Structure 1
Amino acid sequence: MIAHIEKVENFYIATFERHLKHSVKEVWSYLTDNEKLPKWFSELRVDELHKGGVIKFDMGDGTFEDLSILDLKVNTVLEFSWWKDTVRFELTEESKGCSLRLIEKINTITDHTPRDLAGWHVCLDVIEALLDGRSIERKEEWKVWYEKYIKEIEKVTNQ
């Protein structure tokens, strides 16, 4: 399901929702465990898992960017800086698993925004597939969602 994107004051909010048949604890481990993180987002590593801590982003050229952890409640909330934006994961227990919500606060829409949104969309799909013991073709999926997010961004920015 595609993210809901809306303009709020002078920024944008993209909200992704997933209902997973897995426990909060299992899903949390994919967001924070350095053994599992690379399976869905190979550039990310948790350096210091606490509010004020750091997540490292591997730029692929031997350098790393520090992303600050802005909010952390174990098994519930992980929020970190995403350069000028923020990314927030929220987990809520449900009767047959949990709800995973990713909220990206986007300060400025750029040509790169649909790429990021398609990337987050596929990352969430990959987490679900890994938990389910399945695999998905990331590049093909990303292309499909990238085209859809270009259209979604156009709708929001043309309002």
Structure 2
Amino acid sequence: MLASITKEGTGYTVTFERRLNHSKEDVWSYFTDNEKLPKWFSELRVEDLREGGHLSFSMGDGTYQTMTVTAYEPQAVLAFTWGEDMAVRFEFRGEDGGCRLVLIESIYKPSEHTPKDLAGWHVCLDVIASLLDSGQPLADRKAHWRHWYAKYAEALRQLQ
């Protein structure tokens, strides 16, 4: 299902939700364990996991972007900046037999890259679900991304 996209001034608030049949502890570990992170987001690393701490994002050229942790509640909330253009917030809500994972991305300065990012987050969440369910990532992640990229590009066009 497509994320909810709301226009906020010149930017957007995008909310993704996934109901996962796994404990919030298991889901949380995919966001905070540097052994599990590369399975769904190879460029991301936890460096200092606390409010005011930071994560790093490999730019692929030997340099790293530092993202400040703005909210941290173990097994409940992990939020961080992503440059000057956006903020990312993950919420982990325990439910009977599982966890509701909510990703809220605040995009302050949309660009032509925005639908690519949204498709990327969509696929990342699907990869996490697949890893939790089967221990395996999605079979064709690139085709999955192309499918969702077209949908997010169209959704953003309709909001302009």
TM-score (norm 1): 0.96
What corresponds to 1:67 in structure 2? 67
Q: Which runs of 5+ in 1 are unaligned?
A: none
Q: 2:158 aligns with which of 151, 155, 158?
A: 155
Q: Which runs of 5+ in 2 are unaligned?
A: none
State how 1:38-77 maps to structure 2 within 5 Å: 38-77=38-77
Measured after TM superposition, the shift of residue 11 of structure 1 is 2.9
Q: Distance in 1 between matches of 2:115 and 2:82?
A: 15
Aligned-pair identity (%):
52
Which amino acid counterpart does residue 149 of structure 1 have in structure 2?
Y
Segments ≥4 residues shifted beyond 3 Å: none
What corresponds to 1:145 in structure 2? 148
Q: Distance in 2 between matches of 1:106 and 1:26?
A: 28
**Matched positions, count:** 157
Measured after TM superposition, the shift of residue 10 of structure 1 is 4.2
Say what the alpha-carbon RMSD is for the aligned residues.
0.9
Describe the superposition over 1:66-113 as per-residue Cα deviations: whole angstroms up to 9, x where unpaired: 010010000000000111210000010011201000000001221000
SS in 1 for 2:128: helix
SS in 2 for 1:129: helix
Measured after TM superposition, the shift of residue 12 of structure 1 is 1.2
State how 1:11-26 maps to structure 2 within 5 Å: 11-26=11-26
Q: Distance in 1 between matches of 2:100 and 2:21?
A: 9
